[in-house]
Amino acid sequence: PGTWVEKIPLAGPDAAFMTQALAQAARGLGRTAPNPPVGCVVVRGGDIVGRGFHPRAGEPHAEVFALREAGEQARGGTAYVTLEPCSHFGRTPPCADALIGAGVARVVVAALDPDPRVSGAGVRRLRAAGLDVTVGVLEDEATAQQAGFRSLVARGRPWVVAKYAMTLDGKIAALRADGTPEGRGAVTGEQARERVMRWRDEQDAIAVGSGTLLADDPALTTRGVPGGRDPRPVVFDRRARAPLTARVWRPGAVLVTSPAADARAHAAAGVQVLRAATLPEALRGLGRLEISSLLLEGGSGLLGAFLAAGLVDEVRALIAPRLLGAGLPPLDGPLRPLGQAETLSHLRVEPLGPDVLISGLLNEVPRL
Ligand code: AOF
Ligand code: ZN
């Protein structure tokens, strides 16, 4: 199936309209699991005449909204879709049929759908009906946007993003004379904070270890994002020590604990208790809860354990041009030789006000 994907230039009208479709899809990020975020624009005579995105599972797909807005103008037009239009009857009827029925002449697709019910059948159906189909426009961008969905379909577990903010000498917090970390006080500035809030809005769930919960009592909410919503809190707490008075316990919160721990009080209080002996098992459990993306927010023990287990898919490091000379490291895992250091691919460097965001991947996003 990979051979279907043509090598498409990153500029030009197709890429420009697909950028608009990706912007539509982004409106569903963090809201569509277990479904993908998908966007669609319908173009007629060089103008966008319809826009749509998939708002959440169970509701119509992106194409349906875009075709609805376009109405009769869709006839003879081109539809740009960030994911291969579906060919199956799921919670909704096939989008391929809707595009054919609306008289669309050409369909431009960013990436094929890894869902085994579709996986190429949508494109075949469109071509069989005589539509001109192009696959692969901004495929990398779309695949990255769909990382959570693709991870859930291909691996049965969420896409894991490790996030931390540190000084230029690699410290996430200052230490007091007695060796305990200084409490509050952000390492990075306002733009970095805003970016983190956007990530929280886009991710299905946000995880902390019990140490961080006990030390900071974080709320793990999305603040200052217009129309934003809160991710599901996930607390990794083998001994089920997290007090029920902690701020994270809102509807949808998950306690990940060991098979033997006594979590009766948490369960009685309405916390979803997930028992797992290992981190991979825990991630599969989160996948069964339809959590497709997980933002790891600390502390260093949790991040170090995930890295050691090979379970960090993406790293987002916010770096402040400040030096402490001593302090807490962002990750604290088992020793490993320099030759076995993990190396990021797809590296991106972006200034964020006075700070710098460095991000990249440790695993590739699953494709078809
Ligand atoms: C599209 N456009 O906007 C989305 C698609 O249960 P259903 O009917 O919602 O089907 C879910 C599957 O449909 C999902 O696994 C994926 O393959 C596809 N999602 N397809 O053409 C969309 N959200
Ligand atoms: Zn569909």
- 52 in ligand 1 pocket by Cβ < 6 Å? no
pLDDT score for 2 = 42
Which residues have their alpha-adjacent CB atom under 5 A from ion ligand 2? 61, 86, 95
Ligand 1 pocket, 39 CB below 6 A?
Answer: no
Question: ipTM value of the model?
Answer: 0.92
Can you tell me which atom of ligand 1 is nearest the CA of 59?
Answer: 9
Q: What is the pLDDT of residues 199-240, one digit of tens each?
A: 999 999 999 999 999 999 999 999 999 999 999 999 999 999
Distance of alpha carbon 51 from alpha carbon 359, whole angstroms: 30
Q: 63 in ligand 1 pocket by Cβ < 6 Å?
A: yes
Residues 185-195, mean pLDDT to the nearest whole number: 96
- How far, in Å, from the CA of 105 to the mean position of ligand 2? 18
72 a catalytic residue: no
Which pLDDT belongs to residue 367?
92
Chain-centroid distance of CA 86 in Å reads 21
pLDDT in tens, 18-53: 999 999 999 999 999 999 999 999 999 999 999 999
Average pLDDT of the chain is 95
Confidence grade of residue 5 (pLDDT, cut at 50, 70, 90): low
What pLDDT is recorded for position 10? 75
Q: Which pair of tokens denotes residue 12?
A: 């030009």
Quick check: CB of 247 below 6 Å from ligand 1? no
Tell me, in angstroms, the distance from the centre of ligand 2 to residue 83's CA: 9
Note whether 80 and 43 are within 8 A (CB).
Answer: yes
Determine the atom of ligand 1 nearest the C-alpha atom of 149: 15
pLDDT at 298 over 90: no
- pLDDT for res 1: 34
CA 73 – CA 91 distance, rounded (Å): 27
Residue 29 Cα to ligand 1 middle (Å): 14
Tokens of 11: 């500029």
Mean pLDDT of 289-298: 97
Percent residues over pLDDT 90 in the chain: 93
Ligand 1 within 6 A of 148 CB?
A: no
Ligand 1, residue 89: give the atom nearest the CA: 8
| Predicted TM-score of the model (pTM) | 0.95
